[in-house]
Amino acid sequence: MRQLLEQEGRERLILLANHVLAAEPVAMLRLQPHAGRRLRVVPDGWPRLLLLVIPQPAPLEVVVTPAGLLELCPPLEPHGQPEEPDLQVVVDSHDPLGLLAQVLSGGTPQLQLAGDAQFAADVNWLAENLRWDVAADVERLLGPVSADGLRTWGQAVSRALREAVTRLGRTKGAG
């Protein structure tokens, strides 16, 4: 069951990434020369406390399509060895909620890239310049009044989560 949920989550993540890429044609143009190349995204530093509830995500393996989008690599056969990627991206995931808040607020996560230099330069450019315009998507779905209300609510929830994580860290440190 867990594997099925993880696979579904990965597929949704790729759909979201492709939605963001497609919204910026220059992003797709930067990826097109890398068609067929493999990219591995590896989370690093998953919090021990979180491991009790959520296991560390496995590396995400994608291949660039000729259109400049991403496609999830098929799951490995049991005992199969993963192909070496053309580029490996290590994402600092010590603070997953902070990472999510940073990305949603337009920040650039801390990345370590290893592999093909041009591929790394283009992926780094994407990380620094691509942003998901959540408000615009919500507005297209629900209209302007709903989008503004949802944005305000989302900001409040984000602040509350950050404060809860900060308090949890203080409590853990004091104990």
What CATH architecture applies to the domain 2-132? 2-Layer Sandwich (3.30)
Distance, in Å, from the CA atom of 136 to the CA atom of 57, rounded to the nearest integer, reads 29
pTM score: 0.71
The residue extents of the domains of the chain are: 2-132, 135-174
Neighbours of 169 (CB within 10 A): 12
Average pLDDT over residues 75-87: 75
Distance separating alpha carbons of residues 168 and 75, to the nearest angstrom: 36
60 strand-pairing partners: 41
The 10s digit of each residue's pLDDT in 30-63 is 999 999 999 999 888 777 766 667 777 888 899 9
Dihedral, 67, 4, 61, 29 alpha carbons, nearest 10:
20
Look at residues 48, 7, 30, 166 and name the one whose alpha carbon lies nearest to residue 98.
Answer: 166
